[in-house]
Amino acid sequence: MLDCWSKDAFSEISYKFANHLLLIGFGVVHRRPIESKTPTLLIRLSFFTESEIGPNSYTMGFGTVQGSLAMDEEVVEFSVAHNRKYSRDHLWYQEKDDRLMIGVSEFLAVEIGEVLRVILPQAEYEIDEGRDMFSIWTAEEKVAFPSLYSGIIAEVNGEVEINPDLVNDSAYDHGWIIIIEPHEMNLENLLDPDEYVEFLAEL
């Protein structure tokens, strides 16, 4: 799946995703407010057609990869937090004292657009696996997120209902959505940050 052309630990990598010519460079950055302590990766995505890939080299993001720089290159940026796991519907999960804090990844804004509204469940509400936990609205669609766990919704972040921009601007900190207390804590089906990046390349 991945052709790794330049690697320095996990903080500085350039990948070629050969299946659809998606090139990604990323490195450790801190784009959050000073009070935030969430370590993140900054992801720069560049999209090319097959005819635009040539033998020359150029520098993109944090590594040197092979290819020719296209004038109509489309570049989008988002970050991936180190200290949590991810689902395939682009939610992040952070374990805290037998509970799971849940929010949406920054990739989601790239995928579906700016979040305009967040619909939360009631706190202290019993939820079954497969039932919707919460939903978000954009200008184009409503997206509901089913729960991977049965358990109790311990807390909800009412601030994101009042100010949905918290999800857009601080997805990994102030923009968290809910905290659940699962009846059984099982993180095996969630992705580590590097696995999540690989998953994005397969979309």
Confidence (pTM): 0.69
Cα–Cα distance for residue pair 106/76, rounded to 1 Å: 11
CA distances from 92 to 64, 101, 190 (A): 30, 8, 9
Cα–Cα distance for residue pair 63/59, rounded to 1 Å: 6
pLDDT for the residue 112: 85
Q: Where in the chain is the domain with CATH 2.40.50.100?
A: 85-182
With H, G, I as helix, E, B as strand and everything else as coil, classify residue 186.
coil
- 201, two tokens: 């390349």
Cα–Cα distance for residue pair 93/77, rounded to 1 Å: 21
Specify whether the CB–CB gap between 176 and 157 falls below 8 A: yes
pLDDT for the residue 74: 54
- 14, two tokens: 């350039």
CB atoms inside a 10 Å sphere around CB 175: 22
pLDDT for the residue 197: 87
Residue type, 71: M
Specify whether the CB–CB gap between 53 and 81 falls below 8 A: no
Q: Starting at the edge strand that comes first in sequence, how are the strands of the sheet with 117-119 ordered?
A: 117-119, 132-137, 142-146
pLDDT for the residue 82: 82
CA distances from 53 to 23, 68, 95, 169 (A): 10, 6, 42, 34
Instruction: Write out residues in the chain with pLDDT < 50, as ranges.
Output: 1-36, 40, 45-72
pLDDT for the residue 65: 33
Architecture of domain 85-182: Beta Barrel (2.40)
Beta strand pairing call for 99-104 and 57-60: unpaired
